[in-house]
Structure 1
Amino acid sequence: MYSDPVVESFNVSTLPLVEAAALICHNAGSAGAQNVFTLNLDHIVKLRRDARFRAAYRRAGLITADGFPIVIACRLQGRRVSRVAGSDLIEPISAEAARSGKSIYLFGSNLQVLVKASRVLRERNPGLTIAGMSAPPQGFDPTSEDASRCLAAISSSGADLCFVALGAPKQELFSDYGKNVLSNISFVCIGAGLDFIAGAQIRAPRWMQRYGMEWLWRAASNPQRLLYRYLLCMGALPGLLARAALVPRRQRKFLS
C-alpha cells in the first residue's frame, strides 16, 4: 500500500476554475495574498526527493489539482475536485483583474514570449494593467541575489499579482522566496501558460485536455526532455491511487 508522509499534509482546493480565479484576484494586493501552486504527478515525484520544494508547498496559500490523477485521487476520497491547471488560471484571473483594477506582473519564460503574451492578454481583457515583465537568464537561482533583484523590480512595479512561468520546482521556490519578501503580492505558478498564449508552444487539443491525455501530447512534442519525466510519473501513479482508495478515511490526510 502506498504511504508517503512527506506529501500527506497538502490540502487540494475544491474550488472550480472561475471561483478559484476570483478568490486569487480578490486576495492579491492585500494581507490575504497567497502563493498558488498546481499539484500534478511530476510535482509528487519531485516532492519526494526535494526538501525545499516540500517546504515551499507546505507554505502555499492555495493548491489546485493540475492533472487528472490528482483529481481522481481526490474523488476516490469522496471529494469533488475539478482540474485547475496553471495555464487555465491565466485567462480568468486576467479577466477578473481587468474588472477589479488589479495589476499583473509577468515573470519567467523569455522576453519575446512575455511581450507577446502581454499584448494578447490586454487585447482579450480591455483595461487590464500589465505592471511589468522580466525574464531571468538561464541557470537562474530562485533564491539568490539575482532573485532578490527581480523581486525588487516586481515590488517597484506596483503589481498586485505575479504570474511565474519558470517550471517546477523553480517557480514554486521563487514564489515562496518572493512571498517572504513581498507579502501583499500573490504569486501564481503557471508553467508554460504564457508560452501557450504567445504561440511559442502549442497546447494539446481541447479533447485531449478533457480526457486527461495532455501529458501524451506533451511527451510526443518533446520526447527527449519529457519522456523520462512521464515514465517516473507513471511509476508514482499506482501508489497514489492505492492510498487514496484503500487507506481508511479517518487516516487520510493527503489530498484532504
Structure 2
Amino acid sequence: MSVAAAIDWPMLSGHVTDQGQATCVNVVSQEALLADLEGRLVRKQGFSIATLNLDHVVKLRSLPAFAEAYKAHTHVTADGNPIVWLLRLAGQRVALVPGSELVVPVATLAARQEVPVGFFGSDDGSLAAAEAALKDKVPGLEVAARIAPPMGFDPVGPQADALIAELQASGARVVFLALGAPKQEILAARIQSAFPEIGVLSIGAGLDFLAGSQTRAPVLVQKLAMEWVWRLLQNPGRLWRRYLACITILPGLAASAMRLRYRQER
C-alpha cells in the first residue's frame, strides 16, 4: 500500500524513484499538513512524518530497511527543491516543506492542544538549548522528554527498545527525532508501530538549528534554492560524495517524471 492510501484527506502524490517501488510525497502544503496533524492530536491519533530529499532517494535504493520504514510513514513531505521540481515535471504540484521548518508550527499545535512533546537525538547540551529556544517561541509548551542516545546508536537494537519505552513512559505524544537518515526514519517507524498514539517527526538538524549549534543558510540563499551549496561549503569533506551521488541520479529521475506525466496525460 502506498503512503498516500493511508491518509484520510485529499492530497496529491508524486513518484520520484525510477527503480522498484515508488515513494509517494503526499503532503501538498504545510498548511494542509498542520490541519491534519491538529485533527490527529484531537483524536489522540499518532502520525509519522518523513521529509524526502535527493539524499533519501539515493539511500532508498540501497537500504531495504530504510525503504520499509518510509512505507510505514503516514506523511511524506518534499524536503528539497529538486523533489518539488521533479514532481512538477511529473505534473504534480506540491509545496516545499522542510522538516526543520515544522518544529515551531507543530510545537505550537502541541501547546494549543496541551500535548507534551519529546526530543530525541543530538546531545544533552543541544537538547537543553533547543528546549529553551522552543519554549521562548512557543509559550506553554511542555517538554516531557529529552533523550540523547550515545554514539553509534542502533535504531533496531536493544538499547533502542529501552529508549522507546522511556519515551513512551514520559507521556510525550509528539516527538522530534534528530538522528539523521536513515536512523531517524527507521526509529520513527518503530515508535509508530509500538505506540500508535504518538506522533513522530524526523527533522534532521532541526533541533541543532534551534539550539544554535548549527547555522542554516541565509534566507536569500534559501530563496535562490542554493542551500545545498551553503552546506557543501561549510563541510566539503563530509558532503561532497553525498551531493555527487544526488546529482548523478537526477537525469534518471527527470526522465522517470516525464514518463509519468506522459502516461497521465494520455
TM-score between the two structures when normalised by the length of structure 2: 0.89
1 CA distance for matches of 2:63 and 2:77? 20
| 2:75 paired with 1:65 | no
1:29–1:184 Cα contact (<8 Å) kept: no
2 CA distance for matches of 1:247 and 1:18? 27
State the partner residue of 1:168: 181
| 2:209 paired with 1:190 | no
| Letter of the 1:131 counterpart | A
1:121 pairs with 110, 128, 134, which one?
134
1:141 pairs with 132, 150, 154, which one?
154
1 CA distance for matches of 2:205 and 2:17? 31
Choose 167-176 or 75-84, whichever is displaced more. 75-84
1:105–1:130 Cα contact (<8 Å) kept: yes
State the partner residue of 1:106: 119
2 CA distance for matches of 1:241 and 1:4? 9
CA displacement, residues 80-113 of structure 1 (integer Å, 9 cap, x when unaligned): 2011011011011111212221221000011111
Using the TM superposition, give the Cα deviation of residue 164 of structure 1 relative to its aligned residue in structure 2, in angstroms: 0.3
- Indicate the SS of the match to 2:119: strand
Using the TM superposition, give the Cα deviation of residue 18 of structure 1 relative to its aligned residue in structure 2, in angstroms: 3.1
State the partner residue of 2:106: 93
State the partner residue of 1:178: 191
2 CA distance for matches of 1:3 and 1:155? 34
Fraction of identical pairs, as percent? 41
| Letter of the 1:5 counterpart | Q
2:27–2:75 Cα contact (<8 Å) kept: no
1:227 pairs with 222, 240, 253, which one?
240
- Structure 1: tracts of 5 or more residues without a match: none
| 2:250 paired with 1:237 | yes
1:39–1:67 Cα contact (<8 Å) kept: yes
CA displacement, residues 116-167 of structure 1 (integer Å, 9 cap, x when unaligned): 1001111111111111111000000001111111111111111111000000
1:5 pairs with 19, 27, 30, which one?
19
Using the TM superposition, give the Cα deviation of residue 4 of structure 1 relative to its aligned residue in structure 2, in angstroms: 2.5
Larger relative contact order (C-alpha < 8 A, sep ≥ 6)? 1
2:27–2:76 Cα contact (<8 Å) kept: no
- Indicate the SS of the match to 2:46: coil
| Letter of the 1:4 counterpart | D
Structure 2 counterparts to residues 193-232 of structure 1, below 5 A: 193-232=206-245
Using the TM superposition, give the Cα deviation of residue 22 of structure 1 relative to its aligned residue in structure 2, in angstroms: 3.5
2:90–2:261 Cα contact (<8 Å) kept: no
The alpha-carbon distance between structure 1 residues 3 and 92, as it changes in their structure 2 partners (threshold 3 A), is closer
CA displacement, residues 40-80 of structure 1 (integer Å, 9 cap, x when unaligned): 00000000001001111111100000001110111112222
Using the TM superposition, give the Cα deviation of residue 250 of structure 1 relative to its aligned residue in structure 2, in angstroms: 3.8
- Indicate the SS of the match to 1:5: coil
| Letter of the 1:104 counterpart | V
Using the TM superposition, give the Cα deviation of residue 186 of structure 1 relative to its aligned residue in structure 2, in angstroms: 1.1
2 CA distance for matches of 1:147 and 1:229? 27
- RMSD over aligned CA atoms reads 1.8
1 CA distance for matches of 2:64 and 2:91? 29
The alpha-carbon distance between structure 1 residues 181 and 226, as it changes in their structure 2 partners (threshold 3 A), is same
Q: Number of residue pairs matched? A: 250
Using the TM superposition, give the Cα deviation of residue 178 of structure 1 relative to its aligned residue in structure 2, in angstroms: 1.4
| Letter of the 1:93 counterpart | V
The alpha-carbon distance between structure 1 residues 25 and 104, as it changes in their structure 2 partners (threshold 3 A), is farther
1 CA distance for matches of 2:198 and 2:42? 5
- Structure 2: tracts of 5 or more residues without a match: 1-15
| Letter of the 1:220 counterpart | L
State the partner residue of 2:59: 46
The alpha-carbon distance between structure 1 residues 30 and 56, as it changes in their structure 2 partners (threshold 3 A), is farther
